[in-house]
Amino acid sequence: MTHAEVVIYEYNFWIQRYQFDTTAVIENGTPRTTMIYVTEKLRESTVDQLHRIANFAYAGGEGDLAYRINCAAVALYDDGTPPKPM
């Protein structure tokens, strides 16, 4: 695997984990206040992981990929818009 493929694999893992965990919280009939808290914590941890992955991509010479990952992280942080897998 190339460095870019590893970065994309990690990115997709965290995005799919965020989507799965968020859906699981909603489907389990979690009370609204708990759901808001849990989804916010999931969002924060996912944004942190995406920034780490972007730093890893940039360190490996994948500047464009790092930029796209950071843009996805900012969109998730600001709007709560879940990024799409690459």
3-state secondary structure of 29: coil
Given pLDDT bands bounded at 50, 70 and 90, which one contains residue 28?
confident
d(CA 75, CA 83): 8
pTM of the complete model: 0.88
More confident residue, 79 or 43: 43
Boundaries of every domain in the chain: 3-79
3-state secondary structure of 2: coil
In percent, the amount of the chain with pLDDT more than 90 equals 67
Q: Convert the pLDDT of each residue in 58-82 to its tens digit.
A: 999 999 999 999 999 999 998 878 8
